[in-house]
Protein backbone atom coordinates (compact mmCIF):
# COMPACT_ATOMS: atom_id res chain seq x y z
CA UNK A 1 0.00 0.00 0.00
CA UNK A 2 1.37 3.47 -0.86
CA UNK A 3 2.43 5.80 1.90
CA UNK A 4 0.67 9.17 2.05
CA UNK A 5 2.02 12.38 3.49
CA UNK A 6 0.75 15.95 3.38
CA UNK A 7 2.92 18.87 2.41
CA UNK A 8 2.66 22.27 4.01
CA UNK A 9 1.25 23.60 0.75
CA UNK A 10 -1.93 21.60 1.29
CA UNK A 11 -1.21 19.07 -1.45
CA UNK A 12 -1.05 15.38 -0.78
CA UNK A 13 1.91 13.33 -1.90
CA UNK A 14 1.37 9.67 -2.68
CA UNK A 15 4.63 7.78 -2.97
CA UNK A 16 4.69 4.24 -4.29
CA UNK A 17 7.32 1.67 -3.42
CA UNK A 18 10.76 3.24 -3.68
CA UNK A 19 12.01 0.58 -6.05
CA UNK A 20 9.29 1.50 -8.55
CA UNK A 21 10.75 5.00 -8.88
CA UNK A 22 7.34 6.68 -9.00
CA UNK A 23 6.08 9.88 -7.39
CA UNK A 24 2.49 11.00 -7.90
CA UNK A 25 1.59 14.53 -6.81
CA UNK A 26 -2.06 15.61 -6.84
CA UNK A 27 -2.45 19.25 -5.81
CA UNK A 28 -5.94 20.26 -4.70
CA UNK A 29 -7.74 23.55 -5.39
CA UNK A 30 -10.84 24.91 -3.65
CA UNK A 31 -11.67 26.94 -6.75
CA UNK A 32 -9.88 28.11 -9.86
CA UNK A 33 -6.36 26.88 -10.55
CA UNK A 34 -3.52 29.33 -10.07
CA UNK A 35 -0.70 28.59 -12.52
CA UNK A 36 1.91 30.37 -10.35
CA UNK A 37 1.04 28.16 -7.36
CA UNK A 38 1.22 25.01 -9.47
CA UNK A 39 4.63 26.09 -10.80
CA UNK A 40 5.80 26.78 -7.22
CA UNK A 41 4.58 23.34 -6.11
CA UNK A 42 6.42 21.67 -9.01
CA UNK A 43 9.58 23.64 -8.16
CA UNK A 44 9.22 22.46 -4.54
CA UNK A 45 8.90 18.81 -5.64
CA UNK A 46 11.91 19.08 -7.95
CA UNK A 47 13.99 20.67 -5.18
CA UNK A 48 13.07 18.19 -2.44
CA UNK A 49 12.84 14.86 -4.29
CA UNK A 50 15.13 12.97 -6.64
CA UNK A 51 13.09 13.58 -9.79
CA UNK A 52 14.33 13.21 -13.37
CA UNK A 53 13.32 16.56 -14.91
CA UNK A 54 13.21 14.95 -18.37
CA UNK A 55 10.34 12.71 -17.21
CA UNK A 56 8.08 15.40 -15.73
The verdict on pTM exceeding 0.85 is no
Written in H, E and C, the secondary structure of the chain is: CCEEEECCCCCEEEECCHHHCCEEEECCCCCCCCHHHHHHHHHHHHHHCCCCHHHC
Those residues with Cβ within 8 angstroms of residue 27's Cβ, 6 or more apart along the chain or in another chain: 9, 10, 11, 37, 38, 41
Which residues form the domain of 39? 3-55
Work out how many domains the chain is built from and give that number: 1
3-49 pLDDT, tens digit each: 555 555 555 655 554 566 777 788 888 888 889 988 999 999 999 98
Quote the pLDDT of residue 9.
58
Quote the pLDDT of residue 40.
92
Amino acid sequence: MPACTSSRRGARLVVSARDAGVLIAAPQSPGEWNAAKIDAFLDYLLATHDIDRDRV
